[in-house]
Structure 1
Amino acid sequence: MEIRKLRNEEFEDSLSLSEYAFQYKVSGEDRVRAREKFKPDQIWGLFEGDGIGAQLTLLPLQACIQGRPVSMGGIAGVATWPENRRQGYVAHLLTHALKTMNENGQTLSFLHPFLIPFYRKFGWEIYCEYKKYTIPVGKFPQKTEIQGTVKRGTPDIAVFQQLYNTFAMRYNGTLLRTEQWWKERVLDEDTHRGVFYSEQGEPEGYVLYKIVNQELIIDEFIYVNELARQGLWTFLANHDSMLTAAQLKLVPADDILPFLLPDPRIAQENYPYFMARIVNAKAFVENMTFNVPEGDRERLLYIEDKHASWNNGLWRWNVSEQGEATFTQIQGERSEADLECSIGTLTVLLMGYKRPHQAARYGQLSGTAEATAWLEALIPQAETALFDFF
């Protein structure tokens, strides 16, 4: 068995595996473009005998945590042939990917799971969810007189980037997009674009949307203030003669649009989305800023991490008067810990998706009531979101 990066000449083998595993076909010009975009240095393959037995893509990305960029390894395209399944091939690749990310300084990893229980075994855990709304045209937000204008068209990517960054920094777990990401993953040719400008000519929000079978499909709705939100909705509501309904996708979990509607009774879905995993606990914790708890500023935490030995064990967690953490691995028994959890639980607690008191109540965090209260006070309140897919 050999695990290595793919080579240029292995494009066809790699694409054939992806086509089979994900049940799609790439032909003609699309296949030529796929060949041009092929990045073998980002794809790890497991070889045993002839050809690729399994593969995954490891993307070098950055995520936003507490308004700061964190190096993140995005795992995508995990695939194996059916005759190779249940033989541990993907497990070997994931373990190898963790080691690689750790060596590369990627302290965090995201993936979109084909099966959540499978990836939970390796330490990834759901860290965000999104809402999806379907709003009949008769229940659209009310049109208002807006001081500002919405312009359709294609402004410079820098305009989108500025607005997206301002909005995305409110959340933990959003992706920091590059110009290439915008061009290849966000702004496709079929998407209409509307940007809200204030009376002073400043861009303050945008909407990316399509109109399909008399439905408004809103892919992204970004605003930096309430005026922009109302202005964009008034612009969309002016399409009412063309539409029967609107669908909003990838809406952050803390969104309250239904409450703001004249009639809030619309179809709503909540969908668990991406999974996250701390790759290097020491680096991740020490990069965060914490609330300063009253009294003792130190506790012992035991982390269970079966697939990243550098995280597994007993840690001394100390927080300074400035909220800076020192996270030191020490020798000791599990029984000495004030708190105990898995690497997956620690991930969602630090990102803000769940709170320590919730994790303790349902058996995901063990420890004394005092220590749990200490951790509850320590971790700042936060919301999580992700507007992308890979």
Structure 2
Amino acid sequence: MNKYLLDKDKFNEFYELYLYSFNREDSKHRRDVFKERFDHSLVYGIMNGKRLGSGLFSIPFDVNFHGVNYKMNGIGDVMSAPEFGGRGGAGSLMNAALTDMHQNHVTLSYLAPFAYTYYRKFGYEQVFDHSIVSMKSVDLPRIANSDHGHVERDNIKNLHDDVKLMYLGHNHLGGVVRAEWWWDHMLDKHNDYQVATAFDDNGNLIGYLIYYSVGTTFYIHEWFNQNPLSRQLLGKFVTKHQSIFEKFVYETPDPDFKADILDDPNSAKLVVKPYMMARIVELSDFMGRYPVQVSVLPKTYLKVTDELSWNNHVWELSIENGIVGFSIADDATPDMEMTIQDLTKAMFGYRSLKSLRKYGRITGDDKKIGLVCDVFVQEKPELIDYF
């Protein structure tokens, strides 16, 4: 057992450190929501005398990456008391969590960074972006009423199971496969959110919208459409709030702006912001079950530099009839060399190997780099959840 794992009776100490470290005010709602996350996490901590000096969550999830299910642990609430800062406590906990992931056969890890340079030291890399699209009320597009289908509105606490199934059906770009406890946690955490559901004439769910408001701003948190009718119905639902709100904001994991479908593309403003980082914990499993995009690849040798010893090797990669061969070949001469961070970008589809070569991030034989580049998905990953 890892010496840094905390017993469940340490909740109060962990919660108090969280409140202080993130300058949060205590409330029954915050405590209850935090307890849900605590109960479903591996909780790490280092005592500083009688007080907890550092702590973090490692939360077990599954993710769907282009139809392949991988185990992923989300790192959250990395914190240290100010009197305990600078002693490497958080770093020790990060390394302990990664070691346990390896022993538990967890393939990937995600986190929301407070400093990208800090987490790059632990092998994490930026791969998830969010696009924040904002429009003034007066600039909202005109959307015609539909003679078909209808929209229903309810509090998020009454979210129907069909909405959960629709999310799962659309989630395939590295997003979280939401377990029931995580759905419950989200609904408890955001108990002031609303949900609008679109149905066709036969009563089938065809789309949903999760939203909330702050002051005079209408925020869209999550939006899925199954067909043009649902897009029309839910779009009309949003614009019907035009007289209530001055500004409309949609934060989406989709990097495609889509301003061209608006009557006036300048009516919407876009800000792309880095969202979360990812780390390949078990490279052998990630590549071994990876959704390769070619059926044949001759033997190619990749040297991967990583602080995790089990990934830090020269690897032999080959594909025959769509079957991946991936094994350690430390005696071979590598065709290309890269860090685990840059390989993460390429494998997640965030930035291609060719692009990384162009910017001098990887070295090697251009022809071989091009061949391996074609192996990886080219569609950027998407993640809505936060932890």
TM-score by structure 1 length? 0.91
Supply the AA of the counterpart residue of 2:270: Q
**Alpha-carbon deviation of 1:41?**
5.9
**1:78 and 2:78 aligned:** yes
**1:337 and 2:343 aligned:** no
Alpha-carbon distance between aligned partners in 2 of 1:3 and 1:40, rounded to the nearest angstrom: 19
Aligned with residue 277 of structure 2, among 275, 278, 281 = 275
**Alpha-carbon deviation of 1:180?**
2.2
Q: Which residue of 1 aligns with 2:368?
A: 371
1:285-304 alpha-carbon deviations (Å, 9 max, x no partner)? 0111212266x522000010
Alpha-carbon distance between aligned partners in 1 of 2:33 and 2:183, rounded to the nearest angstrom: 17
Alpha-carbon distance between aligned partners in 2 of 1:28 and 1:270, rounded to the nearest angstrom: 35
Moved more, 375-384 or 277-286: 375-384
**Alpha-carbon deviation of 1:4?**
2.4
How many residues align? The count is 381
**Alpha-carbon deviation of 1:36?**
7.0
State whether residues 129 and 274 of structure 1, in contact with CA within 8 Å, keep that contact through their aligned partners in structure 2: yes
Q: Which residue of 1 aligns with 2:186?
A: 185
State whether residues 109 and 276 of structure 1, in contact with CA within 8 Å, keep that contact through their aligned partners in structure 2: yes
State whether residues 142 and 261 of structure 1, in contact with CA within 8 Å, keep that contact through their aligned partners in structure 2: no
Alpha-carbon distance between aligned partners in 2 of 1:66 and 1:380, rounded to the nearest angstrom: 9
Aligned with residue 240 of structure 2, among 238, 241, 244 = 238
Label 1:5 to 1:157 Cα distance change in 2 as closer, same or farther (>3 A).
farther
State whether residues 40 and 59 of structure 2, in contact with CA within 8 Å, keep that contact through their aligned partners in structure 1: no
- Aligned residue for 2:374, secondary structure, equals helix
Aligned with residue 220 of structure 1, among 219, 222, 226 = 222
TM-score by structure 2 length? 0.92
**1:4 and 2:4 aligned:** yes
Supply the AA of the counterpart residue of 2:327: T
Q: Which residue of 2 aligns with 1:110?
A: 110
- Aligned residue for 1:180, secondary structure, equals helix
Aligned with residue 163 of structure 2, among 160, 165, 168 = 160
Q: Which residue of 2 aligns with 1:302?
A: 303
State whether residues 80 and 90 of structure 1, in contact with CA within 8 Å, keep that contact through their aligned partners in structure 2: yes
State whether residues 159 and 195 of structure 2, in contact with CA within 8 Å, keep that contact through their aligned partners in structure 1: no
Alpha-carbon distance between aligned partners in 1 of 2:352 and 2:37, rounded to the nearest angstrom: 41
- Aligned residue for 1:354, secondary structure, equals coil
Alpha-carbon distance between aligned partners in 2 of 1:355 and 1:32, rounded to the nearest angstrom: 43
Q: Which residue of 2 aligns with 1:58?
A: 58
Alpha-carbon distance between aligned partners in 1 of 2:289 and 2:295, rounded to the nearest angstrom: 18
Gaps of 5+ in 1: none
Alpha-carbon distance between aligned partners in 1 of 2:238 and 2:377, rounded to the nearest angstrom: 36
Q: Which residue of 1 aligns with 2:149?
A: 148
Alpha-carbon distance between aligned partners in 2 of 1:108 and 1:271, rounded to the nearest angstrom: 22
Q: Which residue of 1 aligns with 2:128?
A: 128
State whether residues 130 and 252 of structure 1, in contact with CA within 8 Å, keep that contact through their aligned partners in structure 2: yes
State whether residues 130 and 254 of structure 2, in contact with CA within 8 Å, keep that contact through their aligned partners in structure 1: yes
Label 1:315 to 1:159 Cα distance change in 2 as closer, same or farther (>3 A).
same
Label 1:106 to 1:260 Cα distance change in 2 as closer, same or farther (>3 A).
same
Gaps of 5+ in 2: none
**Alpha-carbon deviation of 1:251?**
4.1
**1:196 and 2:198 aligned:** yes
Moved more, 60-69 or 207-216: 207-216
State whether residues 72 and 109 of structure 1, in contact with CA within 8 Å, keep that contact through their aligned partners in structure 2: yes
1:336-355 alpha-carbon deviations (Å, 9 max, x no partner)? 10011111111121111111
**Alpha-carbon deviation of 1:69?**
1.9
- Aligned residue for 1:242, secondary structure, equals coil
- Aligned residue for 2:208, secondary structure, equals strand
Aligned with residue 289 of structure 1, among 283, 288, 291 = 291
Q: Which residue of 1 aligns with 2:68?
A: 68
**Alpha-carbon deviation of 1:93?**
1.2
Alpha-carbon distance between aligned partners in 2 of 1:144 and 1:28, rounded to the nearest angstrom: 44
Alpha-carbon distance between aligned partners in 2 of 1:8 and 1:66, rounded to the nearest angstrom: 36
**Alpha-carbon deviation of 1:44?**
0.8
Q: Which residue of 2 aligns with 1:357?
A: 354
Give 1:3-22 correspondences, 5 Å limit.
3-22=3-22
Label 1:32 to 1:273 Cα distance change in 2 as closer, same or farther (>3 A).
closer
Alpha-carbon distance between aligned partners in 1 of 2:287 and 2:236, rounded to the nearest angstrom: 43
Give 1:316-331 correspondences, 5 Å limit.
316-322=316-322, 324-331=323-330
**Alpha-carbon deviation of 1:39?**
2.3
**Alpha-carbon deviation of 1:87?**
2.1
Q: Which residue of 2 aligns with 1:100?
A: 100
Alpha-carbon distance between aligned partners in 2 of 1:202 and 1:32, rounded to the nearest angstrom: 35
**Alpha-carbon deviation of 1:45?**
1.1
Label 1:337 to 1:144 Cα distance change in 2 as closer, same or farther (>3 A).
same
**Alpha-carbon deviation of 1:34?**
4.6
CA-atom RMSD in angstroms? 2.1
Q: Which residue of 2 aligns with 1:46?
A: 46
- Aligned residue for 1:297, secondary structure, equals strand
